[in-house]
Amino acid sequence: VRTRIRRARVDDLPALLDLLDELQERATPGVPWKRGDAVWTATVWEEVLSDPRRVYLVAEEDDRLVGTADLVLLPNLTHGARPIAFVDNVVVTTDRRGAGVGRALMDDIMRRAETEGCYKVQLLSANGRSRAHAFYEGLGFEASSRGYRRYLIRDAGR
Ligand SMILES: CC(C)(COP(=O)(O)OP(=O)(O)OC[C@H]1O[C@@H](n2cnc3c(N)ncnc32)[C@H](O)[C@@H]1OP(=O)(O)O)[C@@H](O)C(=O)NCCC(=O)NCCS
């Protein structure tokens, strides 16, 4: 089966939301996971797609979306004013994990980041995701930094 990596299109949204829901299995306890309002989500999706510094990738196999990764290019003043590539929301659908789909997505991201002159590619992966950590380390990423986050939404505040 051939895996095709391409930029997401506006009509990918329903399948993409199903795929992203698979990240929920290991969502941070206490942080609410629910889809946004459908109209608002569609508005946000158009904004994402029209942002020249945003590359939303999908992996497609026989018209089925089996993986995704979100790349943000951040203009930057240090390191020769080269941009930073941020990666988030990487997921491969359960029955296609371990088949090279994640690697194909990340290879595409690395190529794009190099083409854009980025000086580094950076991402966070939650402490419990040990499989993902092995995946990133296999691709040459190092856990060389301590990541901090402070959530602004909590179940209690819903
Ligand atoms: C993490 C994830 C994206 C990896 O995608 P994948 O398609 O399963 O990974 P690949 O098959 O492309 O693996 C590529 C390389 O990663 C490494 N790797 C992947 N899974 C691994 C594991 N369980 N243990 C050790 N190394 C692993 C291997 O080095 C592999 O190299 P190989 O091709 O030589 O075997 C996928 O498992 C996933 O969606 N997990 C759930 C969601 C998630 O945790 N996302 C990341 C959030 S930060």
Tens of pLDDT along the chain (158 residues)? 999 999 999 999 999 999 999 998 888 888 888 899 999 999 999 999 999 999 999 999 999 999 999 999 999 999 999 999 999 999 999 999 999 999 999 999 999 999 999 999 999 999 999 999 999 999 999 999 999 999 998 875 44
DSSP codes, 115-150: HTT-SEEEE---TT-HHHHHHHHHTT----S-----
| C-alpha of residue 32 to centroid of ligand 1, in Å | 26
Q: Is the CB of 66 under 6 A from ligand 1?
A: no
Hey, is 136 helix, strand or coil?
Answer: helix
Ligand 1 pocket test, pick from 103, 130, 133 with the greatest ligand atom count within 8 Å of Cβ, gives: 103
> Rounded CA gap, 120 and 128, in Å?
24
> Rounded CA gap, 124 and 128, in Å?
12
| C-alpha of residue 76 to centroid of ligand 1, in Å | 30
* DSSP code, position 11: G
Structure tokens at 128: 């419990």
